[in-house]
Structure 1
Amino acid sequence: MREGDVRTDRARRTFVALWTAVLLLKLVLATQLPLFVDEAFYWQEGQHPGWAYSDLPGLTAWLIRLGVELAGNSEFGVRLPFLLIAAALPWWMVKLVAREFDERHAWLAGSATVLLPLAGTLGLLALPDVPMALATLLCIDAGARLLRKVEYDATLLLALGLAIGALSHYRFIAVVGVGIVALLCLPDGRRALRDPRVWIAIAFGAAAWAPLLAWNLDNAEAGLRFQLVDRHPWSLHPEGLLFLPTQFMLVTPLLFVALMWAAWRSRRDEHPAARLFALLGGLVVLGFFALGFFADTERVSFHWPLPGYLALLPLLPALLDAWPRWLRRATWALAALGLGVLCAYYMAVSVPAVRAQSAALKWYPSNFAGWTVLADAVEEMRAGMPADTRVVADNFKIGAELGFSLGDPRIAVLDHPLNRAHGRAPQLQLWGLQTRGRDEWGDAPVLLVVGASDVQYRQLLRRYHALCERVGPLPPPRVLNIDHGAQRFLLFALEGAGRGPDRPCATPALAWIDAPVAGAAVRRPFEVRGWAFKDGVGLERVEVTLDGEVVAEAEYGHSASGVADYWEISNDPEHPNVGFRATVDDAIPARPGLYWLGLRLHGRDGSVEQWHEQPVTIR
């Protein structure tokens, strides 16, 4: 066997081994990883079939509905179609590169598609990026074919890719725009665009946007306004510079440099397809880099340039061949390490004990955490309430996640800033699931589920007062502190409009530990200082806990004059005497190590609320 054939065979076997290993790992992870909140809402959309929705075109919801019909209402069922699509992408890349370049480079490009962290983890979550990646690859393939010769199979492939992209996400319009610009920049591309068959394919792809445009016309352009106006500041901000280090790490450093270098080197390549890939990929990545200086910084956007990287991957093998052997190996090794780190993150998210240990960290995965525990608590409380009790969620996240866990896609949701911030409020209104509160419920019993950790802490008291206005006096809540309170839910059993209408609005308690600060190292005895209050009724006493066990009774009632000034609307009758102090002494049998320090707050209305915990190290 010739040396070239040996290298090709080695590249093929490496690709097959990598593809198989990563697919098996993703299949296992997909069964263990809790649903991300967006996945849960897309599941809810799939249970309400429509051509389009307030946040997305219809394809993601349709795929999820197909998955749960085939594999059951489970995390795996939700993700199955996306796993299959993601598994097909590296093989399509192999086919594309083999036709345009050579077989060995094709297997190497396929391996790069598996190892590129943003592409290799596709399918683990049921998100629109998966069908959009497929659409991008189909359009790239069709564009390369059209540069050779305009034939029916190429135009059909282009039409299919454009249609899938249009049904996937608003963001695909960037791929369409850049694709047309890239074709116009190439003589063979301009020739292809003069053929009516290409424009028929483009018209077919444009028609696929019709359901989304029709939805927007029927709903005051709510989706377009959210995607293009409301969610973006459209003013220059320096956070756009974070694009480079973020992509540098997510793509992995050497692979990112290689892809950008390949784009630059191939911009004037003699091979028309190579120039097309360079233009497509380079313009998409640069375009999203520029957009980052004006666009939304509140939500995750690191995955937006993925279509650009997919376009550049066919150019990678030829570039790496020109690099020294040690640098090639380092590039592949770092890419594999990056993929491994992302998979390890998803593994950690899947393990409750590991998740709990990350409760005080910035990367705590709140959108994955606690939903099964919450669903069990809701079932338990509902079992002790009247048979006609309805469940009402505080926001769309809780409504969708509870809906999935309980098999009920029609859980009503209160108006909430999160619903509007994520573009879900119009859809909830269309489904008739956004409720005004007690005015709509009458005397019916309601189990209200509130996400205390879904609101910025400084806005939490206002949210509680708004709840009182909507639902009436709040009874003592059942508090669910998941992962030491990093994810915190309050469950209120509301018995009916006629029960105690003259009671004051007794909000859930608010508190703060001033000392020791989170993460501090202390020696026994140590002092715990802070403040706590409960609007409407006040607090009777405060207890200090370590790992959930009471270790001290606090002296409650110390002056804390700045608290009422900060909260402004607080009406706790004890203000300004809402401070507390306690001493955790040597008698507490605590060995040196990490502990979780918390508070148990006893209200004058008989409520007992466990405050969220913070880590301290006892020396």
Structure 2
Amino acid sequence: MSRTSLGAAAASGPPWFLVFVLGLMLLRLVYAGQVELAPQEAYYWQYARHLDLSYLDHPPLCAWWMALSMRLLGNTELAVRLPAILSSTLLSGVLYSLGARLYSPAAGVLAALAANATVLFGLGAVVMTPDVPLVLCWTAALRVLCELVLPDGQGPGRFAWRWYLLGLLCGLALLSKYTAALLPLQVLATALVTRRGREALRTPHPYLACVLMLAVFSPVLAWNHAHGWASFAFQTTSRARTVDGFHGFLVGRYLGLQAVAVGPLLYLALWLTAPVLARQAWRGDARARLLAFASLPGLALFTLVSPLHWVKMNWVAPAYIGLMVAAAAGACALRERRAVRAYAALSVGVGAVLMVGMYLMPLCPWIPFRERDNLVSGWRELAEAVQRHRGATGLPAPAVVGWGYKTASELAFYLPDRPETRSDAALGGSGLAYDFWRDPADPEGDAIIVADQRQPLRDAATRLGAHCAAVTELPSVTVHRGPRTVTTFSLWSCQHARPPRQVAARGLPAVSEGAR
């Protein structure tokens, strides 16, 4: 394949591949408006309603993209998800370009198909989270890095523009999610172990690219400086405090979730690819070194952390990009072997079945699913019930408090007037980003408090007694997926809710977050 620009490389794939990618995009656009928001999406929608330089638990790029989409399409599910759909379409093209540039067009096509046939990337194509811009920028950065460090790369270009494009992409990745802190370190490691990379480090351009990266990331630094470095503390010391020793069951959960995320057969193939890629890198293959540094440190890090801390399904996503390209290249190199072709087809097929099943689960109640883990059904049903209680109290309507940011965010989106809901901080707990959106000294008023049995308000009597002049328990609300029960929500009417500062001033008990 001739060395071409990123966009031209994506377009040079087989025509059926382009039709496939555009067809997927259209299907996802239709699907996006049919399914209720996942709690994380509703939470990031709240980010977008409270635009800022950054937020407690994530950098701002996801919210910025979402806010732009909402400005065009309004407060709809499609508007929330449009950035994810467009990003996933671009990711398919960039992933194809990366595989084709390093190995062959066939490897690029297989890598892109495999990614789209996973729950992690396929479902992530319609669920807008910070991982969406992170993975796109990460993959694009690897594609640019190919031209900078590989022996047959095009080099930095006029005015060394590729180094500055790389710096921009690393900055945007950092502006997406803190996991991207691994990316510039991996770029540096790749430069150090390649001849062209070492030569480039003797010029000013990589260092000026780092300055550009930090400039792009500067909104996060400015926000943290203004808020006592709260986000950095949350991601480091706060998470470290949750580690309480080795837990074998967490390893099983980690491996099981990752097997579901990419499909069990593909997951096994990626693990088998890892030592092969490491061996090729050790022997001096520049392509293998680039992919190994892009994938293996992240995979090793999260695997080592898994016995100590719950590693969520999506955290490992960037580490799979390089491994997928390497695995696709290996399968293409051995395509004459019938067993290899069969395993590759089966890996993609099994992943696709899991992914399609996850797509259809909210729409088809007959698909078996552990309803406790069903986070996209019943929110409209809950909002209708809460609105009836709000309407019965007259004006002004009581405030709405969701115990847990998930419930608070979903109610903010699905209640008809889209009110400024409150979260745990209204009851003396920690509301994550909600703590920065509302003054804890708000005046007294009535409130309806809602708690999901999946995240129950265990100390309700003590906590509500401390924060409400009077409490009336309301009928609970059970929500459904078709005839199946998803979960039940407990509701209370809180008269003259006291702000947390007032509760502390009166010497009333403040129940710790650990009671949840």
> What interval of TM-score do these two structures reach, taking the shorter chain for normalisation?
0.7 to 0.9
The question of 1:82 aligning with 2:93 is answered no
SS at match of 2:178: coil
Residue 175 of structure 1 is matched in structure 2 by 183
Residue 293 of structure 1 is matched in structure 2 by 307
The correspondence of residues 15-34 of structure 1 with structure 2, limited to 5 A, is 15-16=17-18, 18-34=20-36
**What is the CA–CA distance in structure 1 between the aligned matches of 2:19 and 2:460, rounded to whole Å?**
53
The question of 1:199 aligning with 2:207 is answered yes
Residue 135 of structure 1 is matched in structure 2 by 137
Q: CA deviation at 1:311?
A: 1.8
Residue 275 of structure 1 is matched in structure 2 by 289
Pairing partner for 1:255 from 266, 270, 294: 266
Residue 198 of structure 2 is matched in structure 1 by 190
SS at match of 2:423: strand
AA in 1 matched with 2:261:
L
SS at match of 1:327: helix
SS at match of 2:372: coil
Residue by residue over 1:53-94, the C-alpha shift from the partner in whole angstroms, topping out at 9 and shown as x without a partner, is 111111111111112121221111100011101111111122
Q: CA deviation at 1:397?
A: 2.3
The question of 1:57 aligning with 2:59 is answered yes
**What is the CA–CA distance in structure 1 between the aligned matches of 2:434 and 2:440, rounded to whole Å?**
5
Residue 311 of structure 1 is matched in structure 2 by 322
Q: Describe the shift of the 1:105–1:293 C-alpha distance in structure 2 as closer, same or farther (beyond 3 A).
A: same
The question of 1:146 aligning with 2:148 is answered yes
Pairing partner for 2:425 from 415, 418, 426: 415
SS at match of 1:397: helix
Residue 528 of structure 1 is matched in structure 2 by none
Residue 334 of structure 2 is matched in structure 1 by 322
Residue 107 of structure 1 is matched in structure 2 by 109
Alpha-carbon RMSD: 3.0
Contact 1:150 1:195 in 2 (8 A): no
AA in 2 matched with 1:49:
L
Residue 411 of structure 2 is matched in structure 1 by 402
AA in 2 matched with 1:72:
G
**What is the CA–CA distance in structure 2 between the aligned matches of 1:486 and 1:418, rounded to whole Å?**
28
**What is the CA–CA distance in structure 1 between the aligned matches of 2:440 and 2:29, rounded to whole Å?**
35
Contact 1:97 1:103 in 2 (8 A): yes
Residue 36 of structure 1 is matched in structure 2 by 38
SS at match of 1:368: coil
Q: CA deviation at 1:171?
A: 1.4
Pairing partner for 1:465 from 456, 462, 465: 462
Pairing partner for 2:476 from 476, 479, 497: 479
The correspondence of residues 158-173 of structure 1 with structure 2, limited to 5 A, is 158-173=166-181
Alignment length (residue pairs): 469
The correspondence of residues 236-251 of structure 1 with structure 2, limited to 5 A, is 236-239=246-249, 241-242=251-252, 243-251=254-262
Q: Describe the shift of the 1:431–1:249 C-alpha distance in structure 2 as closer, same or farther (beyond 3 A).
A: closer
Contact 1:117 1:338 in 2 (8 A): yes
SS at match of 1:127: coil
SS at match of 2:375: helix
Contact 2:122 2:355 in 1 (8 A): no
AA in 2 matched with 1:382:
R
Q: Describe the shift of the 1:342–1:419 C-alpha distance in structure 2 as closer, same or farther (beyond 3 A).
A: farther
Q: Describe the shift of the 1:453–1:219 C-alpha distance in structure 2 as closer, same or farther (beyond 3 A).
A: same
Q: Describe the shift of the 1:258–1:482 C-alpha distance in structure 2 as closer, same or farther (beyond 3 A).
A: closer
Give me the identity figure in percent. 24
AA in 1 matched with 2:395:
A
Structure 2: segments with no counterpart, 5+ residues: 1-10, 499-516
TM-score, normalised with respect to structure 2: 0.82
AA in 1 matched with 2:418:
D
Contact 2:97 2:143 in 1 (8 A): no
Pairing partner for 1:230 from 208, 230, 238: 238
**What is the CA–CA distance in structure 1 between the aligned matches of 2:429 and 2:74, rounded to whole Å?**
28
Residue 451 of structure 2 is matched in structure 1 by 451
SS at match of 1:109: helix
**What is the CA–CA distance in structure 2 between the aligned matches of 1:434 and 1:123, rounded to whole Å?**
37
SS at match of 2:53: coil
AA in 2 matched with 1:405:
Y
Q: Describe the shift of the 1:96–1:466 C-alpha distance in structure 2 as closer, same or farther (beyond 3 A).
A: same
AA in 1 matched with 2:258:
Q
The question of 1:155 aligning with 2:188 is answered no
Q: Describe the shift of the 1:332–1:314 C-alpha distance in structure 2 as closer, same or farther (beyond 3 A).
A: same
TM-score, normalised with respect to structure 1: 0.69
**What is the CA–CA distance in structure 1 between the aligned matches of 2:83 and 2:202, rounded to whole Å?**
37
Residue by residue over 1:535-560, the C-alpha shift from the partner in whole angstroms, topping out at 9 and shown as x without a partner, is xxxxxxxxxxxxxxxxxxxxxxxxxx
Residue 221 of structure 2 is matched in structure 1 by 213
**What is the CA–CA distance in structure 1 between the aligned matches of 2:270 and 2:402, rounded to whole Å?**
45
AA in 2 matched with 1:330:
Y
Q: CA deviation at 1:158?
A: 0.3
SS at match of 2:453: helix
Contact 1:33 1:347 in 2 (8 A): no
SS at match of 1:412: coil
Residue by residue over 1:321-350, the C-alpha shift from the partner in whole angstroms, topping out at 9 and shown as x without a partner, is 225223223222222321321331232134
Contact 2:400 2:447 in 1 (8 A): yes
Q: Describe the shift of the 1:213–1:30 C-alpha distance in structure 2 as closer, same or farther (beyond 3 A).
A: same
Runs of 4+ in structure 1 off by over 6 angstroms are: 416-419
Q: Which has the higher strand share?
A: 1
The question of 1:264 aligning with 2:264 is answered no
The question of 1:332 aligning with 2:332 is answered no
Q: CA deviation at 1:387?
A: 1.5
AA in 2 matched with 1:140:
L
Residue 432 of structure 1 is matched in structure 2 by 438
Q: Which has the larger radius of gyration?
A: 1
Contact 1:18 1:111 in 2 (8 A): no
**What is the CA–CA distance in structure 1 between the aligned matches of 2:269 and 2:62, rounded to whole Å?**
32
AA in 1 matched with 2:359:
Y
Q: Describe the shift of the 1:315–1:418 C-alpha distance in structure 2 as closer, same or farther (beyond 3 A).
A: farther
Contact 1:57 1:212 in 2 (8 A): yes
Residue 569 of structure 1 is matched in structure 2 by none
Q: Describe the shift of the 1:435–1:488 C-alpha distance in structure 2 as closer, same or farther (beyond 3 A).
A: farther
Q: Describe the shift of the 1:17–1:344 C-alpha distance in structure 2 as closer, same or farther (beyond 3 A).
A: farther
AA in 2 matched with 1:164:
L
Q: Describe the shift of the 1:332–1:121 C-alpha distance in structure 2 as closer, same or farther (beyond 3 A).
A: farther
Q: Which has the higher helix share?
A: 2
Residue 4 of structure 2 is matched in structure 1 by none
